[in-house]
Amino acid sequence: MIERLRQACEEFLDERTGKNSQYDLADVGLSAFSVFFTQSPSFLAHQRDMQLRKGRNNAESLFGLKKLPSDNQIRNLLDSVSPQHLDAVYRQVFLELEKTGLLEKRRSFANQLLAAMDGTEYFSSKEIDCDNCSHRELKNGKTNYFHSVLTPVLVQPGNEYVISLEPEFIVPQDGHEKQDCEIQAGKRWVEKWGDFYAKRGMTILGDDLFSHEPFCRALKDKGFHFILVCKPDSHTHLYQSVNLLAANGVLGSKVVRRWAGRYAEIYTYRYANELALSGEPDALAVNWCELVITREDTGRQLYKNNFTTDFEVTDTTVEAIVGDGRARWKVENENNNILKTKGYHIEHNFGHGKQHLASLLLSLNLLAFLFHTVLDLVDDQYRAIRQKLGTRRRFFQDLDALLRYFEFKTWDDVLTFMFTGLELDTG
């Protein structure tokens, strides 16, 4: 994976002129990535120290770096590089996972892969800004500058792992309202990557922001299926139809009793097909379903949500469709929250620049998360070590110490050293 990343970094557009070319941009890109991958802000400094002591270092052997730029040099040299140069790495990782057969095991209802979309901010300041910053006016009269991004990930009900796909960066011209921004970024993502992913069988999951006609039509035009949250207050015409069907007793329904350990839960499903998504004459026809979960002993409501979809909803299919729709939350819980709280610190200002620096560093950070996920999925030693050490933080603290004091020739040597030291059983 690191070699594929180097190939992408070698395509970085070099705008330097004259003799200011001491560092190869591929080295600069990989230097930044190495900090995110090891989750050690001091990794490069430690390797420079090792180079002075031993004449060699782990940045060279493990990441293929020839020279180690300083943090300031990295920020200056990468500011002009668009994160789009890294898109090919996400695609290559997806293709390799596809070859292993792992993605086939992640298929859900109608043999579909599930891709959940959600936007998140990764930079915010009242003083620092650039041409690519979005902004909002605060009540105190000040301006808040920020960057945000759409982070699609493959999800699966009951599976804790999410697999990052190409991000789509939200730009100022997308607008100032969250809904406009995320929908416009979502449309761009669908247009860019729809031909590749839709033909593989993919259902798009999203919150209520996405369950509107322009975005749904964009998905259908590319061949995607969709299961999207659909709230009553933002879809008044559709819910007029739902309420009319309910009043006439012709709304589909299904009730399932499930034991939850100490008490039973009642799952009440309602559904209807071929409803107009809006009140326009040529409105898109969608199918609708709802799930309400209550405690049997107290009648207390535990959960309620509604979805629109292009899949036909029946007594046979409604549980699976709703189950997939509920997996949308994994883009927040197993992706965005982990990126903010589990060592990736995506809301930290690693460097802002005046052009693309903030978004490029964010993409490198997302790739580090993707690489860690792939290792967890396909590398037995890595997975065993992570499980033994318990938390991400402890694993990366141990890794940081090892790479600071010991030289390793390959990543296999690193993992074997940790595996053996922990006295883990290969069986």
pLDDT of res. 403:
97
Alpha-helix runs per DSSP H in 149-282: 178-197, 213-222, 236-247
**pLDDT value at residue 139:** 86
201: left (phi over 0), alpha (psi -120 to 50) or beta: left
Q: What's the pLDDT score for residue 167?
A: 97
Query: What's residue 424's pLDDT?
Result: 85
DSSP 264-297: EEEEEEEEEEEEESSSSTTPPEEEEEEEEEEETT
Start-end of CATH 3.90.350.10 domains in the chain: 84-340
Helices 411-421, 392-405: inter-axial angle, 10-degree rounding: 110
Cα separation of 357 and 131, whole Å? 12
Element housing 388 (H / E):
helix 380-389
Q: What is the pLDDT of residue 251?
A: 97
* pLDDT for the residue 175: 66
pLDDT recorded at residue 172: 81
pLDDT value of residue 200: 97
DSSP state of 335: I
- Give the pLDDT score at 18: 59
Amino acid identity, residue 202?
M
What strands, in cross-sheet order, belong to the sheet with 252-259?
163-164, 153-155, 113-116, 202-206, 225-229, 301-309, 285-295, 264-276, 252-259
Closest to 351 measured CA to CA, from 125, 98, 22:
125
Residues in the chain predicted with pLDDT less than 70, given as ranges, are 16-21, 174-180, 426-427
Tell me the pLDDT of the chain averaged across its residues. Answer: 94
- The CATH architecture assigned to 84-340 reads Alpha-Beta Complex (3.90)
Cα separation, 159 vs 218, whole angstroms: 28
- 80: which DSSP letter? T
- Taking only the tens place, the pLDDT of each residue in 127-152 is 998 888 888 888 888 899 999 999 99
DSSP 305-325: EEEEESSPP-TTTHHHHHHHH
Do 117 and 226 form a contact (C-beta atoms < 8 A)? no
